[in-house]
Structure 1
């Protein structure tokens, strides 16, 4: 069993590295990644369906025990006219996996939040002048999203670049805002009705791996993997949760 657990751990670590979950570096024996799911809560807050988004079949070693853990949590659904109602929402989980001294695998859930999430997010085109100059930048955007999941407005709230020249910043901001007009999100539904929201979106323009791996916005109020939009609010709430389990 210990050998099997070690092999499974290695397979999952490799999967995290290549599956685009926003995996984070750290202790080589551990791995932290982000998982998304679409969940449905009944009017009493009981979890009904749970559908993982963007995962691969081999990751069921992780998603199966994660689902078992999440099904023990208590939620509060959204309200319609002051009355709790069936609610569809997204669930974003920060998961750390490590090998235990006994040879098993321990899963630990860090950040956990509900809310809308992105469906389509084509990266912004790199401004040609900045590409020629080799300029790089990180931006943080707030995007207003209507009940149908379309972006109605976008504002850049933070900027960090290898050049602080005003024209350089304007080039990057214009490219990001232009791209955001085509992005779509899966909003929360309360009794079948979509709920408008605001998404916080980190955007990177990078040419070097060291710059790409930087996360200048770690101290923002919404921890998230680089490049993944996070809802600033949610109609649903996690009331009680368990932090982790061994498999």
Structure 2
């Protein structure tokens, strides 16, 4: 009920007013049945703009930090994300990743839409980064088609670090479904899940027109933050 009220009464109309979303390829999203929508991730706004314009309900995998923040703000944020049916994902890997996959398979098993950002985090510079293989495992184990999706314009309107978006136009572009049934039963083979993931990311790149970086975004961000930290320490050390 919270999801429906938020979409059609409050957040949906507001987002349509602010972002004036233009939708391309909506016919590629099935009207019924399980499917995975795999998209690029450029902005915090991505979480809300796509669900607001999709006729079907979509459940996203969201980072666990949205559910564990401290204080009143943290509790309100957690309640909001739970209210709209999002699934917390612990990105530390191992058994935590398996729990996320199991939760995602539950969504697909109910014949619903699952949303995922294969990069695992927002792009810090607008480029498209290497995808994590969890999306391939979900597609193969859930026997679900993958619809590539590109968000265009959200990075310019609300890049990482900006609290409130600017006014502007956003385009949401859906590509033709990708069918990986030929690989069913092979989700335990590393080469197969890597190939499936790369095929998904290539389709997203073709839709978005982004420059592709064959490295994980989190690694690149960590390196850049490390270099900034070193530079900052050197500047402080150089001061009299």
Q: Which has the larger radius of gyration?
A: 1
Q: TM-score range by the shorter chain?
A: under 0.3
The structure richer in helix per residue is 2
Report 1 or 2 for greater relative contact order, CA contacts < 8 Å, sequence distance ≥ 6. 2
Q: TM-score, normalised by structure 2?
A: 0.26
Which structure shows the bigger proportion of residues in strand conformation?
1
